[in-house]
Chains A and B, each alone.
Chain A
Amino acid sequence: MEKNRISKVDLIFENDGTLVNTVLDKVKKMNPDDIIMEMIDSGLKGRGGAGFPTGLKWKFTKAENSYDKYVVCNADEGEPGTFKDREILDRVPEKVFTGMAVAGYAIGARKGYMYLRAEYNFLLKGLIKKVEEFNKLLKDKGFDFNIEIRSGAGAYICGEESALFESIEGKRGEPRNKPPYPTVAGLFNKPTSINNVETLVYATVIMKYGAEKFKEMGTKDSRGSKVFSISGDTPNAGIYELELGMTVAAFVDEFGDGDTKAVQVGGASGICVPRKKFNDMIIGYEGVPTGGSMMLFNSSRSMYNVLKDYLEFFAEESCGQCTPCRVGCQQLLRGIEAVKKGEKDPSYLETLKKLAQTMKISAKCGLGQSVANPFISIVDNFREEIIY
């Protein structure tokens, strides 16, 4: 991969009418361990943002001794600035279902759940119809696996895997303590492999083309390609599948409007990359990881407003369970407002940064832990905009 230019890919949305049948027939003849080896070999990491190696997740789940196991598709795409899963679910849902069936076959699960974001309920009717057809196909092909779709209720936190399980189980969506991890005790306390929509499509793709072809793309730490949701100050907003490993500079060259001052990589909970660091930052696990959201900001934007927006979002969407996240988010928000209004000295930003660090290491789940990402990167790089 050449870091200085972008490279468009067409795997996810590739039009291939025979794909589902081909992959399912191929998988059926394979040993589950070989499927898992293939996935590990491909280097595919979770496309939801956290980037856990998919093959390993499957391996751990398979290793558990339990009659009941589950595959869960995390379709609770709630990260501000991300809209790629919606497109995937709208255009190629059968590839997602196939990925779930492959995972189920590999780990020994007989049941799969897709947890669909409440705001995507407009897709629900169509998805239910398609999943019924798909379940029938699985039955015909001799797979002991079927998929059920569950709808969320609109909470961002339910994209967090253990909160998602709680929600499917009919409880209040709050993250659980870890360990135990989902591969040991996930949905209904059974071993569960929970994968993002896009990850499951890549699993299907890898089953079709083999790990080698996937591995050819990307870098050592960030194999393959990824679907990006591109928004903000760009003439080309939309969904793009790009090879991983490009620099932010290359990305901005292609998608910027010529006046890009910052790119928020990975949504509200991601990191803000300022212009001076565009050349140094690789989009991928060796640099700035992303679940796909890329928001571009040009010089007309106030980074104070951007940060304030994010903090308002987190203060609202924290589940409220743990202290660092529930109160910390409110303090960061009120804190920058107070600095802006001159009620607090600019040096108060240092106090707030320390608090953000505490949140990063003491919050119960990824939500509270990641608020420090935008906070520290924006405050460090756009300090004047916050104060004045």
Chain B
Amino acid sequence: MAKYNVNLKINNIPITVEEGTTVLEAARKLNFRIPTLCQHPDLCVAGNCRVCVVEQKGAKTLVASCAMPVSEGMEIFTNSEKVRTARKHIIELLLSEHNTECTSCYKNGKCELQSLANEYLVNEKDFIKLVYDKKYTIDDFSPSIIKDDSKCIRCQRCVRTCTSMQYVSALAVAYKGEHQKISTFFEKPMNSVVCTNCGQCVNRCPTGALVEKNYIDQVWDAINDPEVHVVCQTAPAVRVGLGEDLGLTPGNRVTGKMVAALKRLGFDSVLDTDFTADLTILEEGTELLTRLKKALVEKDETIALPMMTSCSPGWIKFIEHKFSNLLPNLSTCKSPQQMFGALAKTFYAQKKGWRADKVVSVSIMPCTAKKYEANRPEMRDSGFKDVDYVLTTRELAMMIRQAGINFDELPEEKYDSIMGTSSGAAVIFGATGGVMEAALRTAYEIVTGREVPFKNLDIIPVRGLEGIKETTIKLENCKPEWGFLEGAELKCAIAHGLANANKLITAVANGTVSYHFIEIMACPGGCLGGGGQPIPTNEEIRRKRMEAIYEEDANMPIRKSHENPEVLQLYEEFLGTPNSHKAHELLHTHYTKRKRY
């Protein structure tokens, strides 16, 4: 349907915009900045903080510009006396029920309320401080997320994220009036509800009410301990996000500088999760082909298909809660982080001649759910906790700042070896569709002996930020041992963001669609939009990070996981073959059925 143009005036300046545009959007087009708190580009309109109120000529009340559509002849004033007074009042009201111990707040300097307070020169003494009279709880039971109600401004960004974007609904609005709060089911702690630890709420919280649980001090302690060897791994998406927290614009690839910074921080070995991403492809690709063989040749009806990826711990917790009958469909492969952890304290320690109990394994992740994953009781196959501490991209940036490192000036350095070499197929794990693309590059070649039939190995149909993607790859002229797949069409689907995952998996569960292989990432855009990545986030930023990831891939000398020489060396020296007994012991896992609430 064609959209009409609407003419209006903002601060006496005429503008023509499409119908359906909000007053806020129209004002931004004229470069009038209207402050917002509850509004977020990824979320539906709420209109509840009221900070964005503006004056509309002829209207009895002010209007919330984020929720008000433009109309013909409208005259708006964004900075009248009335507006400024109301806005200042509203900010002061928010501060009156906000714990303003800013200097000790994790979000100090990055808090949207703090910067508004600063901008409007609010007088905190005007109103009575309400925050101390209330019994606020600080929920730090979760290994990933700390929820501090005393800092919550009830903008409900987290609730909209958790319900609409992630379809998890661990967070909801409870009670009313002065008792209204953001809560969980029966106010249970965050570690005993359906929370997937995805951290998308953390990415969108304007204040310090929802933050990641940080392990910065523990990691400093380990680094400073002369007795232990601190081994760190860096996830694919960190290298395209870290720069944003250190003064660079989104989309900067900072792999070499990041490695240099980690070495300067004092990590004993700076290694790459991308190495185990390549390893994952060999394990998971083999698992898929084995499942297909058992199902198609041996007609084994117990084989669960489609097989679903298992790299995203937020997704794992989601399926454990909501589709526990589909757990057999999950690949038994651990995520690259956990594969790395298990190898760091076995293979790598042996190589270095270190005692496993003297190795501290730290991972740098774009993810808060990884903190939870590292704490899962089954993740101790090395005989110790496989990954000791998980830091988010943001925490690493903070450590780099604490160490006084001028990030932008660093030289580019290389990862240590072994377990530091990786392929382009590994780095694209950081983007939605990347695991699928990496798996197809390898599986297709194993089965047919030829490279995937896409120019430069770029499997374009699986790329991009569309919520659910699908593709079919026809297997022709297979090698003799894979003859049973001759002419078969490998049907694949990809979803990112748990609401999309829910949609896709519901269709699978209902039998309305059928696939062989499904990739799911819990976060929008995949890991590059993870809950541990720099704040703010929006689609444009995620797109830039995605472009950087594919650039990184295109620039790698090796583009296929099965050609990673270090991975091949690992099999030769330690694991034997993919899916071998030893590989199963260290690199595979099992899942737990969880309650739906």
Asked if B49 and A322 sit within 8 Å, CB to CB, the answer is: yes
The reply to whether the CB of B154 lies closer than 8 angstroms to some CB of chain A is yes
Complex Cα–Cα for A362 and B61 (A): 6
Among A157, A318, A327, the residue within 8 A (CB) of B93 is A327
Among A157, A322, A329, A338, the residue within 8 A (CB) of B48 is A322
Asked if B93 and A319 sit within 8 Å, CB to CB, the answer is: no
Given the known A-B contacts A315-B177, A318-B177, A362-B90, are A323 and B50 also in contact in the complex, defined by CB atoms under 8 Å? yes
Asked if B178 and A330 sit within 8 Å, CB to CB, the answer is: yes
The reply to whether the CB of A321 lies closer than 8 angstroms to some CB of chain B is yes
Complex Cα–Cα for A331 and B153 (A): 15
Q: In A287-319, which residues have CB < 8 Å from any B CB? A: 314-319
The reply to whether the CB of B283 lies closer than 8 angstroms to some CB of chain A is no
Asked if A358 and B154 sit within 8 Å, CB to CB, the answer is: no
Complex Cα–Cα for A341 and B173 (A): 34
Q: How far is the CB of A355 from chain B (nearest CB, A)?
A: 6
The reply to whether the CB of B303 lies closer than 8 angstroms to some CB of chain A is no
Q: Across the interface, which residues of A come within 8 angstroms of B82, CB to CB?
A: 361
Among B49, B130, B153, the residue within 8 A (CB) of A334 is B130
Q: Across the interface, which residues of B come within 8 angstroms of A326, CB to CB?
A: 154, 177-178, 180
Complex Cα–Cα for A320 and B149 (A): 14
Asked if A358 and B128 sit within 8 Å, CB to CB, the answer is: no
Given the known A-B contacts A326-B154, A335-B128, are A177 and B93 also in contact in the complex, defined by CB atoms under 8 Å? no
The reply to whether the CB of B3 lies closer than 8 angstroms to some CB of chain A is no
The reply to whether the CB of B223 lies closer than 8 angstroms to some CB of chain A is no
The reply to whether the CB of A360 lies closer than 8 angstroms to some CB of chain B is yes
Q: Across the interface, which residues of A come within 8 angstroms of B439, CB to CB?
A: none
Complex Cα–Cα for A334 and B127 (A): 9
Q: Across the interface, which residues of B come within 8 angstroms of A354, CB to CB?
A: 85, 89
The reply to whether the CB of A324 lies closer than 8 angstroms to some CB of chain B is yes
Complex Cα–Cα for A207 and B154 (A): 47
Asked if B53 and A362 sit within 8 Å, CB to CB, the answer is: yes
Given the known A-B contacts A179-B69, A334-B130, A338-B128, are A323 and B90 also in contact in the complex, defined by CB atoms under 8 Å? yes
Q: Across the interface, which residues of A come within 8 angstroms of B117, CB to CB?
A: none
Asked if B178 and A329 sit within 8 Å, CB to CB, the answer is: yes
Q: In A169-186, which residues have CB < 8 Å from any B CB? A: 172, 174, 177, 179
Per-residue contact bits, chain A 334-370, to B (CB 8 Å; 1 contact, 0 not)? 1100100000000000010011001011111000010
Q: In B139-178, which residues have CB < 8 Å from any A CB? A: 153-154, 156, 172-173, 175-178
Q: In B103-155, which residues have CB < 8 Å from any A CB? A: 126-128, 130, 153-154
The reply to whether the CB of A191 lies closer than 8 angstroms to some CB of chain B is no
Among A157, A329, A355, A360, the residue within 8 A (CB) of B61 is A360
Q: How far is the CB of B187 from chain A (nearest CB, A)?
A: 16
Q: How far is the CB of A257 from chain B (nearest CB, A)?
A: 34
Q: In B425-466, which residues have CB < 8 Å from any A CB? A: none
Asked if B50 and A363 sit within 8 Å, CB to CB, the answer is: yes
Asked if B128 and A177 sit within 8 Å, CB to CB, the answer is: no
Q: Across the interface, which residues of A come within 8 angstroms of B89, CB to CB?
A: 324, 354-355, 358, 362
Q: Across the interface, which residues of A come within 8 angstroms of B156, CB to CB?
A: 321
Complex Cα–Cα for A1 and B248 (A): 75
Q: Across the interface, which residues of A come within 8 angstroms of B208, CB to CB?
A: none
By CB atoms of chain A within 10 A, which of B60, B128, B154 has the most?
Answer: B128
Among B48, B97, B126, B172, the residue within 8 A (CB) of A351 is B126
Complex Cα–Cα for A261 and B543 (A): 67
Closest to B87 in A: A362
Q: Across the interface, which residues of A come within 8 angstroms of B61, CB to CB?
A: 360-363, 369
By CB atoms of chain B within 10 A, which of A157, A330, A334, A355 has the most?
Answer: A330
Per-residue contact bits, chain A 354-388, to B (CB 8 Å; 1 contact, 0 not)? 11001011111000010000000000000000000
Q: Across the interface, which residues of A come within 8 angstroms of B62, CB to CB?
A: 361-362
The reply to whether the CB of B45 lies closer than 8 angstroms to some CB of chain A is yes
Complex Cα–Cα for A62 and B333 (A): 60
Q: Across the interface, which residues of B come within 8 angstroms of A328, CB to CB?
A: 93
The reply to whether the CB of B96 lies closer than 8 angstroms to some CB of chain A is yes
The reply to whether the CB of A155 lies closer than 8 angstroms to some CB of chain B is yes
Q: How far is the CB of A28 from chain B (nearest CB, A)?
A: 37
The reply to whether the CB of B47 lies closer than 8 angstroms to some CB of chain A is yes
Asked if B177 and A323 sit within 8 Å, CB to CB, the answer is: no
Q: Across the interface, which residues of A come within 8 angstroms of B177, CB to CB?
A: 314-320, 326, 329
Q: Across the interface, which residues of A come within 8 angstroms of B153, CB to CB?
A: 323
Q: How far is the CB of A7 from chain B (nearest CB, A)?
A: 32
Task: State the total of A-B contacts with C-beta under 8 angstroms.
Answer: 115
Closest to A316 in B: B177
The reply to whether the CB of B64 lies closer than 8 angstroms to some CB of chain A is yes
Q: Across the interface, which residues of B come within 8 angstroms of A364, CB to CB?
A: 47-48, 50, 64
Asked if A319 and B176 sit within 8 Å, CB to CB, the answer is: yes
Q: Across the interface, which residues of B come within 8 angstroms of A174, CB to CB?
A: 173
Q: Across the interface, which residues of A come within 8 angstroms of B397, CB to CB?
A: none
Asked if A177 and B176 sit within 8 Å, CB to CB, the answer is: no
Asked if A320 and B49 sit within 8 Å, CB to CB, the answer is: no
Complex Cα–Cα for A4 and B68 (A): 45
Given the known A-B contacts A315-B178, A364-B48, are A331 and B154 also in contact in the complex, defined by CB atoms under 8 Å? no
Complex Cα–Cα for A300 and B104 (A): 52
The reply to whether the CB of B86 lies closer than 8 angstroms to some CB of chain A is yes
Q: How far is the CB of A195 from chain B (nearest CB, A)?
A: 22
The reply to whether the CB of B67 lies closer than 8 angstroms to some CB of chain A is yes
Complex Cα–Cα for A369 and B61 (A): 9
The reply to whether the CB of B351 lies closer than 8 angstroms to some CB of chain A is no
Complex Cα–Cα for A331 and B90 (A): 12
Q: Across the interface, which residues of A come within 8 angstroms of B67, CB to CB?
A: 177
Complex Cα–Cα for A106 and B47 (A): 34
By CB atoms of chain A within 10 A, which of B85, B127, B172 has the most?
Answer: B127
Asked if B176 and A331 sit within 8 Å, CB to CB, the answer is: no
Q: Across the interface, which residues of B come within 8 angstroms of A363, CB to CB?
A: 50, 61
Q: How far is the CB of A372 from chain B (nearest CB, A)?
A: 11
Q: How far is the CB of A175 from chain B (nearest CB, A)?
A: 9
Asked if A177 and B45 sit within 8 Å, CB to CB, the answer is: yes
Among B60, B90, B130, B176, the residue within 8 A (CB) of A358 is B90
Closest to B93 in A: A327
Q: Across the interface, which residues of B come within 8 angstroms of A322, CB to CB?
A: 47-50
Q: How far is the CB of B300 from chain A (nearest CB, A)?
A: 44
Complex Cα–Cα for A332 and B154 (A): 19
Given the known A-B contacts A177-B45, A322-B50, A326-B154, are A334 and B128 also in contact in the complex, defined by CB atoms under 8 Å? yes
Q: Across the interface, which residues of B come within 8 angstroms of A321, CB to CB?
A: 48, 154, 156, 173, 180
Closest to B71 in A: A179
Q: How far is the CB of B41 from chain A (nearest CB, A)?
A: 17
Among A155, A172, A177, A318, the residue within 8 A (CB) of B173 is A172
Among B60, B64, B97, B178, the residue within 8 A (CB) of A177 is B64
Closest to B153 in A: A323
Complex Cα–Cα for A330 and B154 (A): 15
Q: Across the interface, which residues of A come within 8 angstroms of B68, CB to CB?
A: 177, 179
The reply to whether the CB of B190 lies closer than 8 angstroms to some CB of chain A is no
Write the residues of chain A forming the contact surface with B, with a CB cutoff of 8 angstroms: 155, 157, 172, 174, 177, 179, 314-324, 326-331, 334-335, 338, 351, 354-355, 358, 360-364, 369
Write the residues of chain B forming the contact surface with A, with a CB cutoff of 8 angstroms: 45, 47-51, 53, 60-62, 64, 67-69, 82, 85-86, 89-90, 93-94, 96-97, 126-128, 130, 153-154, 156, 172-173, 175-180
Given A321-B180, A323-B94, A327-B130, 11 new contacts (CB under 8 A): A318-B177, A319-B176, A323-B90, A327-B94, A327-B96, A330-B97, A354-B85, A354-B89, A361-B53, A361-B61, A361-B86
Q: Give 29 A-B contacts (CB < 8 Å), ordered by A residue.
A: A177-B67, A316-B176, A316-B178, A320-B154, A321-B173, A323-B49, A323-B51, A323-B90, A323-B153, A324-B89, A324-B90, A327-B96, A327-B97, A330-B178, A331-B96, A331-B127, A354-B89, A355-B93, A358-B85, A358-B90, A361-B60, A361-B62, A361-B82, A362-B53, A362-B86, A362-B89, A363-B50, A364-B48, A369-B61
**Which 10 residue pairs of A and B lie closest in terms of their CB atoms, listed nearest first?**
A320-B180, A177-B67, A327-B93, A358-B89, A177-B47, A318-B177, A361-B61, A321-B48, A362-B86, A358-B86
